[in-house]
Amino acid sequence: MTMDPRFPTGKFQAPDTITKEEIQHFIQDIKAFPGQVKAEVFRLGEAGLKKPYRKGGWTGNQVIHHCADSHYNSFIRFKLALTETVPTIKPYYENLWAEQVDYELPVETSMAIMEGLHTRWAALLESLSSEDLKRTFYHPEMKREISLDLSIALYSWHCRHHLGHLQLIQV
């Protein structure tokens, strides 16, 4: 079976239950992500970052800018869920965001965002109690509540997913 380059780590599989140990592993993925991306930026160089990870896919630059956008949206969703009762989050159209002029900036701008954001995000995640992890936000596109523990699992996958995209780029 060949690997689908759209999903280099496979599609996200929502676990039925999430243990405390798994949460710690997921948080480590989130914590490590900026450093892993930085290593890929170094490996790829400016020319490599302009290449797509697959035909019709985003370039390395777009992947990195997307991760900054996606992860700060997620961070805000966590803060909302921790401070409000089942807030309705605002979805965003990531493909349209990727067409904006800020995606033409050097990736160092988004790397700086991710380095600071992931430090704050990991500290927040490590502070969560069992009760906090069960807090939810309402996702209007999915038409359901999403728990914070599931969101941590999803963003662990999201980090590994997009790191996999960067690793597919040949220089």
pLDDT in tens, 15-72: 999 999 999 999 999 999 999 999 999 999 999 999 999 999 999 999 999 999 999 9
- Stated pTM of the model: 0.96
Residue 86 and residue 145 in contact, taking contact as beta carbons nearer than 8 Å: yes
Tokens of 150: 């599931």
pLDDT band at 134 (very low <50, low <70, confident <90, very high): very high
Domains and CATH numbers, the chain: 20-168 (1.20.120.450)
